[in-house]
Amino acid sequence: MCGIAGFLEFSGKPPSRAEVEAMTARVRHRGPDGHGVHLQAPVALGHRRLSIIDLVSGAQPMSSEDEQIWVTYNGELYNFRELRDRLKAAGHTFRTASDTEVIVHAWEEWGEKCVEYFRGMFAFAIADYHRRVLFLARDHLGIKPLYYFKTPERFAFASELHALRAVADCPDQIDPKAIDEYLFLLYVPPPNTIYRDVWKLPPAHRLTIAFDGRTTGPEPYWKLRFQPQPGISFDEWTERLEFVLRDSVRAHLMSDVPFGAFLSGGIDSTAVVGLMSRELAEPVRTFSIGFEEAEFNELDYARDAARVFRTEHHEEIVRADGVSILPELVRHFGEPFGDSSAIPTYFVSRLARRHVTMALTGDGGDESFLGYGRYFGWHDWINPALRKRVAWKRLLRPALQRLAPQRFPARRSVTPREWLPWISGIDTQTRRQIWRPEYAGLVDEPIAQIHDILHDAEDVSPEQIGQFVDYHTYLPNDILTKVDISGMIHSLETRTPLTDVRVAEFAATIPWKMNLRRNGRGEWTGKHLLKRIIGRNFGPEFLERKKTGFGIPLNHWFAPGGALREELTDRLFSPRANIYGYFEPEAVQRLVTEHRLRENDNSQRLWQLLFLETWLDQARESETRAPVAVVA
């Protein structure tokens, strides 16, 4: 795992070492083990290395034999040995044992199509002096980040927005529309960022910039297709899934450094740890975070899993004072990010880094195997006639639907757009209430960046609309972003075997009924294939408990008398608060005064506003060239 940065000067002038050094300095945490810069007009490439594979000879930027192709690369290719053998057979000669060199030769062999052969997590840039192009690409599911901007004079890129901001002419206009998107989704969706004319390369996209500035892309090189396969039994699906997951975990264990796993006690991380324990001769090192508030604490379940799989287990308790890391999180995320589970992810990463350099996580299991509670509510909503019906009425209804289909419709007619309210952080009505009048026209649903995703979802079965949309939005833009940034702060490589491209493609073939079923109380529950796999070791109490998630007890901490109530009011009731350049103070402060622990929980909304306020503080303090511009 590494940090990358660089730029291309369209005038052909020699690039500045000072600028690329300033960029790589801001991603030092992503790669504390090594530092490299390549300067050759008109391109500068920078790299910070966290050594995981080929500790001796894998330094970057790395070149081809004739030094006309250079790469700076962040990530891991899990099929690099297979590709190296294939490239050797095609006549390529290798000087190292690193996956980085595979990228160089794959580019020589296949050009822009090279990414279609890769299995892994990656973001990289290749400078090709033969073709006179700079080529960038990001992995299939969006595990590794890549930011960029283009002006008439240059193109620049970096692993983190904070590093890109080290470049003198990086655009600095805050986009209020991006703020509204953040309020709605908890993040600013790609290709946008919080700054106008600064972009994220979307997952599974590539981009080519000629040395004279002509640009091709961004363009997709892969799309996840949902094509459920009927006629396969539950037992056979279980066997197939177990085979695919074992293969993925085995691939993700490739490492030359100590490694372990996050273990929340949930189904996904437990499955990953269980599969790891079957692959390894020594005990798995596991790491867990808990809370004093019982409803958020899953440590007992994590301990059960650690005991069953005989892991070397480590754990910590996170208390309200842990929110003091918020300014550090804000700086590394580089733009507003509203998922409060970044806090425990930060602490479990810090705990793990004391013992290992790399850790596997269970992220992606909810999207792959229908685990989120909102999927359950959605299924009841699209089948209103079946909601809270006794068993004999549910059995009778199919016959009534055949006899009188107009009177007894099978389901509600739905469109993918109707899924959006199920994932909103701050709903449309509340956003309209808090924006100042001059910004009222910004509120839009659905946002433009999700339009194409919703269009593609029209071919997906209603039961899997949420799963499909989450795969393309929430998973890469929230979950995987959170895991990458929170881990990299501590120079910890995190790997997510449940978001391996082969796992994703396999999961998209599973009929929804294999994962989502009603229990004896008529309630939807998910992940039944995963539960069957780990059910050999755990009973119903472990498998069928209510999903807790990985959030923090904000509702307790923000409530009257709570540990963070005073800090919240100090920040959001201040007349100098930055957010009041955009929002109505009375409307925001009403969210604070009306918040209660149970009956009126505004904690998610308040967290998003607090994060935004902290980000605006930092954005204004760090601006040295001119006051931060705001454009409507």
Q: Residue 621: is its pLDDT beyond 80? A: no
Q: Residue 390: is its pLDDT beyond 60? A: no
CA atoms within 13 A on the CB side of 11: 7
Number of helical H runs and strand E runs in the chain: 26, 19
Q: Residue 316: in which H helix or E strand, if any?
A: strand 312-318
- pLDDT band at 632, cuts 50/70/90? very low
CATH 1.10.569.10 fits 229-548, yes or no: no
- Rg of the chain over Cα atoms, rounded to whole angstroms, equals 25
Distance in angstroms (rounded) separating the CA atoms of residues 314 and 511: 37
Compute how many other C-beta atoms are within 10 angstroms of the C-beta atom of residue 629: 12
Compute how many other C-beta atoms are within 10 angstroms of the C-beta atom of residue 149: 22
Q: Residue 388: is its pLDDT beyond 70? A: no
Contact 59, 40 (CB under 8 A): no
Residues 6 or more apart whose Cβ sits within 8 Å of residue 91: none
Identify which of 460, 466, 449, 470 has the alpha carbon closest to the alpha carbon of residue 364: 470
Q: Which of 1, 2, 249, 460 is catalytic?
A: 2
Q: What is the Cα 190 distance to its own chain's centre?
A: 12
According to the model, what pLDDT value does residue 519 have? Answer: 77
Cα separations in angstroms, 43 against 40, 60, 112, 376: 6, 15, 19, 51
Please report the beta strands in 102-214, taking only residues with DSSP state E, as ranges in sequence order. Answer: 120-128, 133-138, 147-150, 154-158, 198-200, 205-210
Distance in angstroms (rounded) separating the CA atoms of residues 488 and 2: 9
pLDDT tens track for 167-214: 989 999 999 999 999 999 999 999 999 999 999 999 999 999 999 999
What's the mean pLDDT in 219-223?
Answer: 97
Type of residue found at 98: S
Distance in angstroms (rounded) separating the CA atoms of residues 559 and 570: 14
What's the mean pLDDT in 218-246?
Answer: 97
- The dihedral of CA 117, 122, 128, 133: what is its sign? positive
What's the mean pLDDT in 432-457?
Answer: 87
Question: Apex CA 385: angle with CA 384 and CA 387, to 5°?
Answer: 65
Domain ranges of the chain: 2-220, 229-548, 554-622
Q: Residue 629: is its pLDDT beyond 50? A: no
Contact 253, 267 (CB under 8 A): no
Identify which of 609, 604, 568, 562 has the alpha carbon closest to the alpha carbon of residue 293: 562
Contact 559, 595 (CB under 8 A): yes
Q: Output the six-digit token pair for 200.
A: 């994220």
Residues 6 or more apart whose Cβ sits within 8 Å of residue 307: none
Identify which of 8, 16, 130 has the alpha carbon closest to the alpha carbon of residue 69: 130
According to the model, what pLDDT value does residue 628 have? Answer: 38
* 2-220 shares its CATH topology with 229-548: no
- pLDDT band at 343, cuts 50/70/90? very high
Cα separations in angstroms, 81 against 100, 481, 491, 493, 598: 11, 27, 25, 20, 54
According to the model, what pLDDT value does residue 64 have? Answer: 94
According to the model, what pLDDT value does residue 52 have? Answer: 59
Q: What are phi and psi of 172, to 5 degrees?
A: -130, 20
> Is there a catalytic annotation at residue 2?
yes
Distance in angstroms (rounded) separating the CA atoms of residues 216 and 155: 13
Q: Output the six-digit token pair for 346.
A: 């930060």
pLDDT tens track for 364-382: 999 999 999 999 999 888 8
According to the model, what pLDDT value does residue 57 have? Answer: 53
Contact 206, 218 (CB under 8 A): yes
According to the model, what pLDDT value does residue 9 have? Answer: 96
Q: Output the six-digit token pair for 120.
A: 């892994």
* Mean pLDDT, all residues of the chain: 90
- pLDDT band at 493, cuts 50/70/90? very high
What's the mean pLDDT in 599-616?
Answer: 93
Cα separations in angstroms, 294 against 539, 542, 553: 21, 16, 10
Distance in angstroms (rounded) separating the CA atoms of residues 312 and 615: 38
Q: Residue 400: is its pLDDT beyond 70? A: no
- Neighbour-count burial of 551, counting CB atoms closer than 10 A to its CB (0-12 exposed, 13-18 middle, 19+ buried): middle
Of 64-73, 139-148, 250-259, which range is least confident? Answer: 250-259
What's the mean pLDDT in 18-33?
Answer: 91
Q: Which residue has the higher pLDDT, 384 or 487?
A: 487
Q: Output the six-digit token pair for 93.
A: 């000669």
According to the model, what pLDDT value does residue 423 have? Answer: 87
Q: Residue 540: in which H helix or E strand, if any?
A: helix 540-543
Type of residue found at 223: K
Percent of the chain at pLDDT > 90 equals: 72
Type of residue found at 51: S
Type of residue found at 300: D
According to the model, what pLDDT value does residue 415 have? Answer: 84
- pLDDT band at 224, cuts 50/70/90? very high
Of 13-17, 113-117, 271-275, 550-554, which range is least confident? Answer: 550-554
pLDDT tens track for 505-548: 999 999 999 999 887 777 889 999 999 999 999 998 898 887 66
Superfamily the domain 2-220 falls into:
Aminohydrolase, N-terminal nucleophile (Ntn) domain (3.60.20.10)
Percent of the chain at pLDDT > 70 equals: 91
Cα separations in angstroms, 317 against 7, 219, 298, 322: 43, 44, 11, 10
Query: Residue 603 in 3-state DSSP?
Result: helix
What's the mean pLDDT in 553-568?
Answer: 88
- Neighbour-count burial of 411, counting CB atoms closer than 10 A to its CB (0-12 exposed, 13-18 middle, 19+ buried): middle
- The dihedral of CA 85, 90, 92, 93: what is its sign? positive
DSSP-derived letter for residue 212 is T
